[in-house]
Every structure is written in C-alpha cells, then in structure tokens.
Amino acid sequence: MPTYSLRQHDNGTFYIHWTEGRRSKRQSTGQTEEVAAQIFLGEWLKGEAADQAGATPIYTVQDLWDDYFKRHAEKNCADTRSFNTCWNNLQPHFGALTLPELTRKGADNVDKIEEYILLREDGEIGRCPATSGTIRGELTRMLACFNWHADPKRKTISKADVPVWEMPPKSPPRDRWLRVDEIRKLMAAAADRSAQSSRMSRVERFLWLALETAARRQAILELTWGRVDFELNLIDYRVPSRAVTKKRRAVVPISTTLRPILLRAYEERQGDLVCDNQSCIWRAVKSVAKQAEVERVSPHVLRHTAATHMLRNGVPIATVAGILADTIETVERTYWHHIPSAGAGAVELLAGKLLALTPTAEPTKCPERNA
C-alpha cells in the first residue's frame, strides 16, 4: 500500500504525493488551505484511490507535454527549439497543474489561463512583455499537445477532458520588408565581413540564400551541397526521408545573381553543409544589420522581403507560392496589397462599365485646400 503525503506547491495548491512502481505520482487537491486539503485527501482515499488498479490515470500538464515532445516534436519537427522556448514560458505556470485546474476560477474569479495572459502581457513571465499574438501562439501549442493526446490513435485523455478557453486576439499582420537600398546596405556590410577572411563569411552566404530563394532559416542551415544541383541549376531544400510538415520546403531555381555566389562558396567549402554548420546564425545577422544601420531584420522579414519583391516585379502568384512552398490562397491573403494593379481591373469595371460614367466638363486643376 503506497504512503500518501500532502505537499504545498509554489502555486499555493496542496498536492497528494505517493510512489507507485518506482514512479512518483501526484494528485491536486485543488485546495490552498491545509485543513481543506486534508479533508479532500480523506475523501479521495475512500473513493478514487480505493481501487488503484482500476483508477483512471491523472496527468499533469508537464506529463502530457513531456510525452508530446518526445513522441511528436522530436520525431516530426525539423527544429524543436521553438518548442523549448515556448515551454520555458508555459512550464512554471502550468507544469504542475492538471487539466481541470486550467480553467477553474480562483477566489478572484480568474482562472489559470487568464492569469497567464495577464502575467505575460506585464512581463512577469518570460524575459519581456509579450504581444497577444505571442501569447496566443504559446497557448495554441499547449492546446495542440492536449488534442494530440486526445486523438483516437492515442487516447491518453478523452476529448471531453481537453479544456476550452478563449484565445487572445491575433496580432496585426507584420508588413516589414527590406527596400532595395536597405538590401544593398545589408549585403555591403556582409561583404565587409567576408573581406576580413580568406573565404566568404557564413552570414553572407546565409543572407544571399535567404534573399534569393525565400527559404526559411532552418531549411537554409540544413542545406547540403548534395542538394545544390549546378547542372540543373536547382536547390532542393527538401530533406530526403524526412516526413513533410506544415512548413513545407521547395525546389528553387538558382538565379543568375546567386549562381556565382554559390560557385565561390562551393570552391571554399569546408564540409557538406552550405552554411558550415547548423548553429544559431541570428546573432551574426543582427550584428551585420546593426553595422549596416538596417533595423528590424528577422527570419520573417528576409522571407517576406523576397516574396514582396517578386510580386512587386510582376512574378505570377502561382510561381511565388511554389517558391515559398505555400498555397496560392496564403500568398494572396498575405501579399495582396503588394501585387501591382491588383484591384485596377475591378475599379475600371465599376467606374467605366457598370456605372457608365462620362465626363460632363473639361477637367480642371484640383481646388486648393482651405488653410
């Protein structure tokens, strides 16, 4: 018979702790007062714990996340760093809780989800205050973990056990992209780095690939020379034998501008990876951007820049979607305002055909505005 004990956690709640088969177990009492927790323990022992063999396992968020990360993220995601960053913020607040506790109202009529949102917005969780979009992304990833466990293939928990809460609103769409003069300054600063060495710098190679192929950061860092075909003039960002995820990768033609860059990099190669290794590149990118006095440079901005310039120069949406490995609908939704004369046809139809407007007088100059 296991020995049960009550312990108060950092969140103020008392938990029942015991060991079963060399594995530590715990069950929340949902109480912050010791007397009430003792009463709960007595009832729990008489009821739910009376038949341990037939009892339904009770999982904490930490238990569910650990299993989700090991069995899903590590196997199916090319880069798990975003999972770790997300969990670093979620874990201190949610890790020890069970699913019913997430949406249970406290004395102040605020549940743990609402409390997390407020603390993240104020910067009391995480390194700095977070936007609603960032918080939404973190909570969405935690909800994905619960739904993964509730999937009929696994049935770790039932669908009815998955808590329901209102998500923070999405952040306004980001529309930062680099203009031609900013690109030139950025690449000039990167070239300066290369001039200090006997070979092209890693950061310059990365920037060329990001701006010329619109590929995502991890796809560029994982690119091997074996997938750069100089005969067919193609770069294949797809990794053989890796399962296709939502962030699909494309086969992209090598532009006439990029080709001599890649040929030089190939002659100077020091291994199988085009960018030498997969270690973090963004400190170097930010350093180059600071030297060039170009603000707000990020992975999203480089990819967004490439797509924006393609569309502004008349590249068909379907072609851009293929290079980005996105759907045509996604490209239209994200970049519609960058497509030259996107709505001109509709406006001409409305004014010239449907309303059949004709000028009634010679055009005059615009009247001056009142002071």
Question: What pLDDT is recorded for position 230?
Answer: 96
Q: How many C-beta atoms surround the C-beta of residue 335 within 10 A?
A: 23
Smallest CA-to-CA distance from 40 within 52, 28, 53 is with 28
The secondary structure of 229-254 as a DSSP string is ETTTTEEE-PPTTPPP-SS---EEEP
Question: What pLDDT is recorded for position 208?
Answer: 96
Query: pLDDT tens for residues 135-156?
Result: 999 999 999 999 999 998 888 8
Query: pLDDT tens for residues 313-346?
Result: 888 889 988 998 888 888 888 887 777 665 555 5
Instruction: Determine the Cα angle at 24 with ends 20 and 28, to 5°.
Output: 105
Q: What amino acid occupies position 35?
A: V
Low-confidence ranges of the chain (pLDDT < 70): 1, 46-56, 78, 173-174, 243-246, 340-371
Q: What amino acid occupies position 243?
A: A
Lookup: tokens for 188: 């000039």
Question: What pLDDT is recorded for position 338?
Answer: 74
SS3 of 19, please?
strand
The secondary structure of 183-227 as a DSSP string is HHHHHHHHHHHHHTSSS--HHHHHHHHHHHH---HHHHHT-BGGG
Whether 109 and 75 have beta carbons less than 8 Å apart is answered as: no
For the chain, the domains span 5-54, 61-161, 180-338
- Give the position of tokens 């956690």: 9
Cα–Cα distances (Å) from 123 to 94, 117, 130, in that order, read 17, 10, 7
Greatest Cα pair distance in the chain: 99
Strand order in the sheet with 5-8: 5-8, 14-20, 23-28
Lookup: tokens for 22: 């060399």
Distance CA 337, CA 323 (A): 19
Distance CA 189, CA 196 (A): 11
CATH number of 180-338: 1.10.443.10
Distance CA 16, CA 8 (A): 9
Distance CA 254, CA 248 (A): 19
Question: What pLDDT is recorded for position 343?
Answer: 56
The secondary structure of 60-122 as a DSSP string is BHHHHHHHHIIIIIHHH-S--HHHHHHHHHHHHHHTT-BHHHHS---TTS--HHHHHHHHHHH
